[in-house]
Structure 1
Amino acid sequence: MPYWMHVFIRLLVCLNYTSAVPSRPEIRTPDLRRRDPALSTSPSGGYAPVYIKCPPEPFVRPPFEKDNGHAKLGQGESTYVKEKAAQSIPLWQKYLENVHLESFSIDDFLKPAKEKGGIAALTLPNIGFAVSGGSVRATLFGASILDSFDSRNDKANAAKVGGVLQLANYAAGLSGGSWLIGAWATSNFPQISTLVPTWRLTQENEIWKWNVVKHFMRHRKIVKKKHKAGFPTSLVDGWGRILSGHFINEPGKKKQEIGISVLWSSIREVSLYKKREAPFVMAVATSRPGSGKPFTPESPTYEFSAEEFGVFHPYLNVSIPIEHLGSRHTATRPESQSCVAGFDNAGFIMGISSNIFSIGDSPKKEKRPKSVNAVRKLIRDVDFEGKVPNPFKGLGKKSDPSGGNFQDTDMDDLLMADSVFIDESIPLRPLIQPERKLDVVITLDASADGKDKDDPNFYNYPNGAQVYGIYNKNKLPVYSGYHMPNIPNVSDGTFVKLGYTKRPTFFGCDDLRGPLIIYIPNYRATEDTNAATEKVTFKQEEIDKFISNGFSIATQSTGPTQNKDWPICLACALVDRQVLRNSAARTAQCQACFKTYCAIP
């Protein structure tokens, strides 16, 4: 039976019916204790949200509020980045002293920051990470790279790349990347290598295995409480419960109970977030324009941060407090409505960001997998979408319909899904928002678009299609306000022929209209890491290979493209926009680096 058939039938039967799961002996598992537990902040004490009184102002970002011509950032985000940048001067000093660039004065570079204060994109570089989707493969690849850039990693410091993670003001994750971001953030942003062993990836995690099946009925009971409280539920709630058992940190709890009261908004309460010692994190997802309707190029990208839930889109810019996710109609009549608290369950949000089950809701004219069609016939009235009550209903309507309405303006519930359905499996969209003023986006690509099974160094590795797809979408008139540097053609093989899938590459070195993109793909540097997307169980040696291979890529210390000058070149890319703002020039050393790593215009 195909993988997807197992996934759908096992999970759907459980969530739609009450038949008992046959009794089997318990399988003993080790007591996996982690450094910092996630915080249980659900007002109900469980998975079900509750109704509360609405605040006087329902929005974090009121619709279309502008700041110097750009959509305004929410106050929580602005304050976070401002305060983090203000204390980043010593971090830059330490990082640059370790790298030791030639003919580069650290004092001159940091002089504006020391005189005016550390200000992102003004006196200091503004850096972000985009962690792609790709199931556990993406989670492990992203983990290996972030750990290799962590100043708490002695090997990273010795390789002169440690500290880059601490310099980043933003980190966005999608699908498998959101699992990494969610696990990391809810656990108080520890060194990621301390978290990986606790994700239970070596257990039998296939959804049809007894190790998972035995918890289905308990998951159903937990989700049912949310339904009884008056909130929409779907297959994605069950999926989120399964993910919580792996990626939410609650030592001492039974696996099936983990994460029921851990909210995405609880990230605000962990100590490193309060101290502004971690990036401002986001999970990303899209929405289907209606049940059975196809996604379109105008389908939006929604963001879940620790402060707000919202959208930046040419037809609508708006957000609400993340703690009020699940509230209906707050956009139009907040004073006469009840708001919601406790809907932003962390596992549920990770489930939304990785909701590949949405394929079951695709139009009949689209070719669906046979397993999906079989499930649709077997079980009727199945909800394949992550359902979120629409707080923006009625917003984004144009007086002139020809001007375009926001896709979800008439939806009662947002039908949320993995952004892979809109060809954006890399969460670049939030980080190329002009109002965020990113200088550099370190883009981690663990997609699996390489289809040549005869080439083990290409099959199931990235081929550039995801970053090229976003670049192409930005050429559409509706996205004229966004800018990405030129990305070589993937369909004619140019991207691969230029070698950009087998080493880090800088895109936009001399294009100042948007951020410089440091593209880091998953590839075989020293180990095979092209695991299938459906692979969810890994041997310890396979996990170790991911970590080792990622370190080789992040440091360029071993492998076919190893280069002892890579740490220098990485630093050159990170400081470049600030060097220009300081009215200085690239050093000869950095010019040589850009000649090596910058993409051909």
Structure 2
Amino acid sequence: MSGPPGDQSLSTSEAAYVQARRSQVIPQALKTYLSNVEATNVTLPSYVSSILNGSSLETPNFGIATSGGGYRAAIFGAGVLNALDGRNASSNSAGLGGLLQTATYITGLSGGSWLLTSLAQANFPTIQELIFGYPNYTVTSNLWGGWNANFSMNGPSSGSITDTEFFTSLVEELQGKYHTGFPVTFADFWSRGLARHFVNGTFSSNFYDESYAHGAGILWSAVAETESFTSHTIPFPIVVSDLSAPGQNTSNIISEDVIPISNPIIEFNVYEMGSFDPMLSAFASTKYLGTTNNSICITNYDQSSLVAGSSSELFNEYNLTNTLNATFGPVFSLLESLLPESGVELDAALWPNPFFGVAPETFLSSSQAYLTLVDGGEDGEVIPLQPLLVKARGLDTILAIDGTSDVNNFADGSSLIATQNRSMLLSSAYSFPPVPTSLGEFTAQNLSTRPTFFGCNVTSANDTTPLLIYLANGGPPHNGEAPLTNTSTVQVAYNSSQIQAMLDQTFVIATQGYPASSGMTTDPEWPACLACAIVDRARERAGQTRSGVCESCFARYCWSGSTLSVNVTSGGEVIVSGSGTRWFLTLAVAIGIWASM
């Protein structure tokens, strides 16, 4: 368990992984990425080339965040990663290939966690292999079979008898956990279904065959033993979930969200689970998360599917007697009949609380035997940015991939606003670049229909604030294609042709940039502009001045909104102003959080 309240030091295991990746893998990855950018025939300033080819003493520290939003977000996020993957020849030709390989960290929540957990435990395959499975593989236990997206997660067949039998088999798989004495939740059932899609061991040909384990026993901590991890090939993966806690301050719930932004965010990395938020500032070993006392260490609780299921457990948002019961009513009956007197929790995932008794004055769940975890986006932060804002991780630049559903199943910036609000609430712990304070401003400036840079201007007051590259599924490509990527969050089955069409359109969105005129469909300088953003904080540390194409890129891609100001009125309101809009927070709430830091 990590240090005192307010501590944000990394575990020795994470620090060692990151150091090894940054010394052994990323330097060559940066050179490869540079060669792909230079092949687009845009002249880069010399400082960009020197930073990327390793001749500068400064090296950029880059992270990627992939949002929630169900299968739509998983597919869109996968499509963006595909456009950045140096193993993809089309991405290399577009000038973006290799950027994925330069990332130090990658985070995901909800639908993004499906993408990330499958990517990590399947040994970091290409995106085509990840979604559709490895070609010419036979059905063998624990090999990767793809997402099996053609099987619906609400009922994989078109026949009620087959679906009932399938649901029954999922519930029966939970009986071992039940008989061991752990509480069983609907999230456990949900996780066993997710395992058929996002954990090793399931192919279309064995989907219903219960002689296979279907991901049971494949642990999140065991990702550390995969070849891609031991070789430091994969960015350090982190999955995010929200904590629902007794006595939580409901006045800190934003708009239609469910979890207050003042609740700690829980992250799962392959070594530890916990929170850097100042109200907890503690972590426990992922390998031993089933442990409930000080005498016996329990392993095998950290199932990869349960990590993904906990990050996407949004069933507390539904009316159980109407909306949810219409789909999963038979499952509730099965849970009651096969797990008698279990008192199945339907609203959250339950994890034995490794922080029992920790920080009782600030951590709301300190006295709870189990942590109650729900979908990582239920506090409004549907892009998992908070782990990448941890100062000990030292991120220079963050790519925020936004596949959320704000308007017509397109993203419209709400998650960035939530992260801004929460970062101000926890300002001693996190620094976040200014973004608009209203969705209307995102829409008016088309900030979600083109790549946008936030935090371009570095001052002495924000020199540790990362530059944010915002790439949203905010609309169809500029080339006039009909929109394909705004499918509903509740769509839980896709055929291969639909996924491929969405991946192809996402590739266009990721590589088109921000055309300089309405007569253009792509920006030929976008690869160079992206490279300029990746190195910009390293450039600042090196004492270089932006020049050449980078200067014009930042003029075109940077959001020009004013820096936010904070004032406290005599009536006790904290008024945060910026770009003509305001965000209000009662002083009592602010002091309650700030006092805990």
Partner Cα distance (1:235, 1:413) in 2:
15
Residue aligning to 1:524: 476
Residue aligning to 2:87: 152
Partner Cα distance (1:262, 1:419) in 2:
22
Partner Cα distance (2:390, 2:539) in 1:
22
The one-letter amino acid paired with 2:360 is K
Partner Cα distance (2:410, 2:321) in 1:
23
Deviation per CA, 1:395-440, whole angstroms, max 9, x where unpaired? 1123xxxxxx212111110011002221111101111111111111
- Does 2:514 match 1:542? no
Residue aligning to 1:109: 51
Does the CA contact (< 8 Å) of 1:89 and 1:114 recur in 2?
Answer: no
Deviation of 1:302 after TM superposition, in Å, equals: 0.6
More displaced, 589-598 or 207-216? 207-216
- Please, which of 524, 530, 537 is the counterpart of residue 564 of structure 1? 524
- Please, which of 394, 408, 414 is the counterpart of residue 365 of structure 2? 408
Residue aligning to 1:465: 414
TM norm structure 1: 0.79
Partner Cα distance (1:504, 1:567) in 2:
12
Partner Cα distance (1:110, 1:148) in 2:
19
- Please, which of 90, 111, 127 is the counterpart of residue 62 of structure 2? 127
Deviation per CA, 1:354-410, whole angstroms, max 9, x where unpaired? 0011235xxxxxx8884358999x879441210000010111123xxxxxx212111
User: Which aligned pairs between 1:311-460 and structure 2 lie closer than 5 A?
Assistant: 311-329=275-293, 334=294, 337-359=295-317, 370-371=322-323, 381-384=343-346, 385-398=348-361, 405-450=362-407, 459-460=408-409
- Does 2:136 match 1:179? no
Q: Kindly tell me: are residues 558 and 597 of structure 1, through their superposed partners in 2, closer, same or farther at Cα, counting changes over 3 Å?
A: closer
| Structure 2: tracts of 5 or more residues without a match | 133-145, 251-258, 337-342, 562-597
Does the CA contact (< 8 Å) of 1:141 and 1:550 recur in 2?
Answer: yes
The one-letter amino acid paired with 1:538 is Y
Deviation of 1:115 after TM superposition, in Å, equals: 8.3
User: Which aligned pairs between 1:470-481 and structure 2 lie closer than 5 A?
Assistant: 470-476=419-425, 478-481=426-429
- Please, which of 160, 164, 168 is the counterpart of residue 99 of structure 2? 164
- Please, which of 2, 7, 10 is the counterpart of residue 73 of structure 1? 10
Figure out how many residues of one structure are paired with residues of the other and give that number.
503
Residue aligning to 1:37: none
User: Which aligned pairs between 1:249-268 and structure 2 lie closer than 5 A?
Assistant: 249-250=200-201, 254-255=206-207, 257-268=213-224
Identity of aligned residues (%): 31
Does the CA contact (< 8 Å) of 1:552 and 1:558 recur in 2?
Answer: no
- Does 2:165 match 1:214? yes
Does the CA contact (< 8 Å) of 1:205 and 1:212 recur in 2?
Answer: no
Q: Kindly tell me: are residues 420 and 373 of structure 1, through their superposed partners in 2, closer, same or farther at Cα, counting changes over 3 Å?
A: same
Deviation of 1:202 after TM superposition, in Å, equals: 2.2
Does the CA contact (< 8 Å) of 1:134 and 1:177 recur in 2?
Answer: yes
Deviation of 1:239 after TM superposition, in Å, equals: 0.3
Partner Cα distance (1:471, 1:115) in 2:
33
Residue aligning to 1:95: 33
Deviation per CA, 1:229-274, whole angstroms, max 9, x where unpaired? 1222210011000000011122579435311111101110110110
Q: Kindly tell me: are residues 558 and 417 of structure 1, through their superposed partners in 2, closer, same or farther at Cα, counting changes over 3 Å?
A: same
Does the CA contact (< 8 Å) of 1:448 and 1:462 recur in 2?
Answer: yes
Partner Cα distance (1:530, 1:107) in 2:
37
Partner Cα distance (1:204, 1:359) in 2:
21
Q: What SS does structure 2 have at the residue aligned with 1:419?
A: coil
Partner Cα distance (1:424, 1:592) in 2:
31
Deviation of 1:126 after TM superposition, in Å, equals: 0.7
Deviation of 1:541 after TM superposition, in Å, equals: 2.6
Does the CA contact (< 8 Å) of 1:446 and 1:521 recur in 2?
Answer: yes
Deviation of 1:154 after TM superposition, in Å, equals: 0.3
Residue aligning to 1:499: 446
Residue aligning to 2:565: none
- Does 2:187 match 1:245? no
Deviation of 1:473 after TM superposition, in Å, equals: 2.3
Residue aligning to 1:305: 269
Does the CA contact (< 8 Å) of 2:83 and 2:510 recur in 1?
Answer: yes
Deviation of 1:219 after TM superposition, in Å, equals: 1.3
User: Which aligned pairs between 1:36-55 and structure 2 lie closer than 5 A?
Assistant: none
- Give me the CA root mean square deviation: 2.6
The one-letter amino acid paired with 1:91 is A
More displaced, 216-225 or 165-174? 216-225
Deviation of 1:103 after TM superposition, in Å, equals: 3.2
Q: What SS does structure 2 have at the residue aligned with 1:195?
A: helix
Partner Cα distance (1:369, 1:504) in 2:
42
Residue aligning to 2:455: 508
The one-letter amino acid paired with 2:51 is F
Residue aligning to 2:227: 271
Partner Cα distance (1:274, 1:218) in 2:
35
Partner Cα distance (1:587, 1:437) in 2:
25
The one-letter amino acid paired with 1:241 is R
User: Which aligned pairs between 1:222-241 and structure 2 lie closer than 5 A?
Assistant: 222-241=173-192
Q: Kindly tell me: are residues 221 and 205 of structure 1, through their superposed partners in 2, closer, same or farther at Cα, counting changes over 3 Å?
A: closer
- Please, which of 54, 66, 77 is the counterpart of residue 142 of structure 1? 77
Q: Kindly tell me: are residues 532 and 243 of structure 1, through their superposed partners in 2, closer, same or farther at Cα, counting changes over 3 Å?
A: same
More displaced, 204-213 or 142-151? 204-213
Does the CA contact (< 8 Å) of 2:450 and 2:513 recur in 1?
Answer: no
Q: Kindly tell me: are residues 368 and 244 of structure 1, through their superposed partners in 2, closer, same or farther at Cα, counting changes over 3 Å?
A: closer
The one-letter amino acid paired with 1:223 is L
Q: What SS does structure 1 have at the residue aligned with 2:424?
A: coil
Q: What SS does structure 1 have at the residue aligned with 2:46?
A: coil
The one-letter amino acid paired with 2:149 is L
Q: What SS does structure 2 have at the residue aligned with 1:225?
A: helix
Partner Cα distance (2:117, 2:394) in 1:
24
Q: What SS does structure 1 have at the residue aligned with 2:486?
A: coil
The one-letter amino acid paired with 1:109 is I
The one-letter amino acid paired with 1:150 is D
Partner Cα distance (1:130, 1:545) in 2:
23
Partner Cα distance (2:541, 2:106) in 1:
24
The one-letter amino acid paired with 1:582 is A
Deviation of 1:199 after TM superposition, in Å, equals: 1.2
Does the CA contact (< 8 Å) of 1:149 and 1:156 recur in 2?
Answer: yes
Partner Cα distance (2:249, 2:325) in 1:
16
Q: Kindly tell me: are residues 115 and 576 of structure 1, through their superposed partners in 2, closer, same or farther at Cα, counting changes over 3 Å?
A: closer
Partner Cα distance (1:292, 1:328) in 2:
24
Q: Kindly tell me: are residues 162 and 186 of structure 1, through their superposed partners in 2, closer, same or farther at Cα, counting changes over 3 Å?
A: same
User: Which aligned pairs between 1:25-36 and structure 2 lie closer than 5 A?
Assistant: none
Deviation of 1:107 after TM superposition, in Å, equals: 6.5
Deviation of 1:78 after TM superposition, in Å, equals: 0.5
Q: Kindly tell me: are residues 597 and 587 of structure 1, through their superposed partners in 2, closer, same or farther at Cα, counting changes over 3 Å?
A: same
More displaced, 581-590 or 264-273? 581-590
Partner Cα distance (2:360, 2:68) in 1:
32
The one-letter amino acid paired with 2:18 is V
Q: Kindly tell me: are residues 574 and 435 of structure 1, through their superposed partners in 2, closer, same or farther at Cα, counting changes over 3 Å?
A: same
Partner Cα distance (1:200, 1:108) in 2:
44
Q: Kindly tell me: are residues 299 and 103 of structure 1, through their superposed partners in 2, closer, same or farther at Cα, counting changes over 3 Å?
A: closer
Does the CA contact (< 8 Å) of 1:109 and 1:582 recur in 2?
Answer: no
Does the CA contact (< 8 Å) of 1:425 and 1:447 recur in 2?
Answer: yes
Deviation per CA, 1:542-573, whole angstroms, max 9, x where unpaired? 21221111111221179975211100100000
